[in-house]
Amino acid sequence: MHYLENTGLNAYTSEKTSSAFPALLVLTPIFKEMKTYFITGGAGFIGGNFILNLMNSGQAKVINYDKLTYAGNLDTLSSIEGETGYTFVQGDICDREKLTKLFETHEIDYIVHFAAESHVDRSIDTPGDFIQTNVVGTFELLEAAKKYVESKKLTGKESFRFLHVSTDEVYGSLGETGLFREETPYAPNSPYAASKASSDHLVRAYYKTYGLPVLTTNCSNNYGPYQFPEKLLPLMIYNALKGEPLPIYGDGKQVRDWLFVEDHCKAILQVLEKGKVGEDYNIGGHNEITNLEVVKTLCEVLDELVPDSRFRPHENLIQHVTDRPGHDRRYAIDASKIQNQLGWKPQESFETGLRKTVKWYLENNDWVERVMSGAYRGERLGLEKP
């Protein structure tokens, strides 16, 4: 177990330096009293960044509950290990009994549910894992939360929130125009997206049926420090530095909206603190870019920041490969609801966020090598045909 001290966050930030993440932006909560956050999947990419920001605010207590699968890495949280107010518990969200005991032991103000299998390619190979974690796991967590609220006689209006973190992939694929809105019908096309859509529906049902005070966020593609190198940007950085091919699926013209992870963390806290119970909020970065443009821009940044690389220009490493089965063509988020109602908007452009991301990976190569020392070594996944 590790212990640390922290508080909630808000959209307002102040600068603070962390050894793990230089010039880490600290999210400052609007609540006056110390709150306790139960974070599932806190050793993962977004959850880890969220916890680091919370703990560096000095105003939150955090219980990090993570199964530590291949993508869960406590190295991400080494800078806060041992701090008062931080507790790590290894556990599975499918273990309702363990969750229930933890909720009985701790006075929980907020559950923030990040834990999920999240890689589309892996969902093509092993869809059952995604159903078990994302659907069954969310159900077990909801049941434990419902029991906790009932046992504590919480009204849900002031004292407790369950925030479910989801994805824009539940909406399916857009054409050349249009944006995903909170009212967009669900049309998932991959096992991953279908499993997240299912969990979204369960969360809604527990609000409508049992009155559980829930909030749901659906975000666009995240990027930034501590992302496991199976996702596009960290994998491209990892390969480029080694002079290995940079695989682009199909023609590379699939469009994604890119959201810097710190902007996402601020948005989550803003929803948690100010959002209306039972509502959904879409979170996007206002950065619609094709995958090919993303990788080319990344190569340009690497050319600049690693001028002595013998693989310059890194763009020469790009290789087009067979497209992903059922690959969605375009995602784009309309984030006007969270901006107009809660006052959040992204602070990073893709260019500024990408530069920060590349610099972090260049300065933290030891972290990358450690997380890549397991079974996954950057190989292609998800080639099973439907």
> 76 and 371 in contact (C-beta within 8 Å)?
no
Q: Is residue 244 among the annotated active site residues?
A: no
With beta carbons less than 8 A apart as the criterion, state whether 196 and 252 touch: no
pLDDT at 1: 32
Helix (H) or strand (E) holding 302: helix 291-305
Work out the burial of residue 377: count CB atoms within 10 Å of its CB; fewer than 13 is exposed, 13-18 middle, 19 or more buried: exposed
pLDDT of residue 168: 95
| Closest C-alpha to 199, from 172, 148, 164 | 164
Is the pLDDT reported for residue 10 higher than 80? no
| Residue 181 CA to its chain's centroid (Å) | 19
The answer to whether 168 is a known catalytic residue is yes
More confidently predicted of 353 and 158:
353
Question: Is the pLDDT confidence value at 284 over 90?
Answer: yes
Domains observed in the chain:
13-224+259-286+332-349 (3.40.50.720)
Both tokens of residue 207? 């609000």
Rounded average pLDDT over 214-228 = 96
- Residue 383's pLDDT is 55
Question: What is the tens place of the pLDDT at every residue in 253-262?
Answer: 999 999 999 9
Question: Which of 95-109, 110-124, 187-201 comes out lowest in average pLDDT?
Answer: 110-124
Strands (E), 208-275: 214-219, 221-223, 246-249, 255-260
Averaged pLDDT score across all residues of the chain: 87
pLDDT at position 86, please? 97
The catalytically annotated residue of 121, 168, 263, 288 is: 168
Q: Which of 140, 169, 200, 334 is catalytic?
A: 169
Query: pLDDT: is 18 or 107 the higher one?
Result: 107
The CA-atom distances, in angstroms, between 28 and each of 25, 41, 51, 77, 333 are 9, 22, 13, 19, 26
pLDDT of residue 5: 29
| SS3 (DSSP) at 237 | helix
Tokens 């420090």 map to which residue? Answer: 225
pLDDT tens column, 117-158: 987 888 888 899 999 999 999 999 999 999 999 988 775 556
Residues 86, 171, 192, 206: which is the catalytic one?
Answer: 192
CA pair distance 136, 117, nearest whole angstrom? 12
First to last CA, the chain: 43
